[in-house]
């Protein structure tokens, strides 16, 4: 089961609350997903029904905010 830890994810209420996203490639979680299961509007949302649990988003996240258990 894939999970987002919203305490660790810096994207809050539609904007970055801490890091320089472009420099850190934060948001890469959205771009790397091969099935477009992640959206980042108000907050990061993962459509668990579409997720393949490939781990690509977790690997790219600079804040270790995504885990697969």
Q: Which residues bind ligand SF4 (CB under 6 A)?
A: 2, 4, 9-11, 26-29, 32-35, 37-38, 40, 44, 46, 51-57, 61, 63, 65-66
Residue closer to ligand SF4 (CB basis): 42 or 53: 53
Q: Shortest Cβ distance from residue 40 to ligand SF4 (Å)?
A: 6
Tokens 């993962």 appear where? 46
In angstroms, the CA 44 to CA 6 distance is 8
Burial 49-61 (b: 16+ CB within 10 A, else e): eebeeeebbbebb
Residue closer to ligand SF4 (CB basis): 42 or 55: 55
């Amino acid at each position: 089961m894939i999970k987002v830890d919203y305490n660790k994810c810096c994207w809050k209420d539609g904007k970055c609350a801490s890091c320089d996203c472009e420099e850190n490639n934060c948001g890469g979680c959205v771009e790397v997903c091969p099935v477009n299961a992640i959206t980042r509007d108000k907050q990061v949302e993962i459509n668990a029904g579409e997720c393949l649990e490939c781990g690509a988003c977790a690997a790219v996240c600079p804040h270790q905010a995504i885990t697969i258990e």
